[in-house]
A and B are shown apart, each in its own frame.
Chain A
């Protein structure tokens, strides 16, 4: 489940932060820092970029908390800021090359390469394999599946955030799941083949 679901700061804490209390801001950061970083890592896949998104989001929260009048809406407000920044980053020049590679290259090969780097074995659990498969998806499909399946955005909201249509969001979600299936099946087959005793 999205880490933002557990981000429910007390109204008094939000109010203190709104008045410039930096200790209150730090307490808020303790609640939303990891969810923002996780969101950015899942969407962008690069620790340096995720760190940058986190810091930009924090600065925006500190400077514009007055725009968030309702403490109940705080987590959603922060999530929206971070999501917009991640999607802007995906649209930027840094990611164009990765996007084109992701769309045109063999993503199965990317996962196989990732598997070779750490080596197959029982230490690689299902969650780790799923995380690797997610990171091997093309950026747009990866963003849509994470925003929809985990962060709870609707197709209409995703369409609005990306400046695309609802059907685009739906087709990207389907594409993401088709790719995930291919990646995980391939991975399972690779593992089962490698665990089989040799007949020679």
Chain B
């Protein structure tokens, strides 16, 4: 019986393996060839040439990192009232969703908790009303970054919340799939980006409420 790939990798990397595996290598040409192949694969990967970033990358970094109002890119790293308001509004809806689908005995967030705080925040009007495609794409990108920056989901979460998250993510992926096709007109594109922003907003709502609910 030949050595497994994991055992061969352990041998390659100088990690301990059972004595019989090492003994087998002394007698088996097949496993010896495999071991050499694994070494060559590692060496080949290490020899792949470095890839060069776009020449404009550093200028973009300077714009982003600028402390003042240096341009639209620099604003990405500062909290924006519109975004915060949208997040607050999102949280309101998310809390409503949790309360509607959950098994909470009282049916209301505990006083003084984060859930209570965000539930008491008034919802602003939709910030994507009348927005063009570039604005929608930018907003979608911001929401994507905000979602990535959120802490991981709690270990224990409501089934209804998990299902809502999965449904929203599936919806976003479906839109992405449609957007990646070439034969869609600008109006359809704009409608799809609008839907995407709406879904990401909703996803943010649920994730925010999920975290608040876990505290």
Contacts and interface: CB of A to CB of B under 8 A. Distances in A.
A26 interface: yes
Interface in B34-67: 37-38, 41-42, 44-54, 57-58, 60-62, 64-65
Interface string A30-60: 0001111110011000010011001100110
A174 B152 CA distance: 28
A186 interface: no
B51 A96 contact: no
Given A127-B49, A181-B37, A92 B62 contact: no
A51 B57 contact: yes
Interface in B114-154: 144, 147-148, 152
B47 A127 contact: yes
A93 B58 contact: no
A130 B148 contact: no
Nearest to B168: A93
7 smallest beta-carbon distances between A and B, as pairs: A37-B53, A174-B5, A58-B61, A174-B6, A149-B42, A38-B51, A62-B65
Given A34-B52, A59-B65, A181-B37, A145 B57 contact: no
A180 interface: yes
Interface in A118-164: 126-127, 130-131, 134, 145-146, 149-150, 163
Interface range for B? 35 or more
B9 interface: yes
A63 B58 contact: no
Given A34-B50, A37-B53, A170-B6, 7 more contacts: A35-B50, A55-B57, A62-B65, A63-B65, A92-B144, A127-B49, A149-B42
A62 B50 contact: no
A134 B45 contact: yes
Contacts, number: 106
29 contacts: A3-B50, A29-B58, A29-B61, A34-B50, A34-B53, A36-B53, A37-B52, A37-B53, A38-B50, A38-B51, A42-B48, A47-B54, A50-B51, A54-B57, A58-B57, A58-B65, A62-B65, A88-B148, A93-B172, A93-B173, A126-B44, A127-B48, A130-B45, A131-B48, A170-B9, A173-B6, A174-B4, A174-B5, A180-B41
Contact of A171 (B6, B52, B77): B6
Interface of A: 1-3, 22, 26, 29, 33-38, 41-42, 47, 50-51, 54-55, 58-59, 62-63, 88-89, 92-94, 96-97, 126-127, 130-131, 134, 145-146, 149-150, 163, 170-171, 173-174, 177-178, 180-181
B51 A92 contact: no
A51 B144 contact: no
A93 B44 contact: no
B169 interface: yes
B61 A177 contact: no
Nearest to A128: B48
A6 to B, nearest CB: 9
A36 B9 CA distance: 27
Given A29-B58, A63-B65, A177-B5, A145 B45 contact: yes
Contacts of B148: 88-89, 92
A1 B173 CA distance: 36
B176 interface: yes
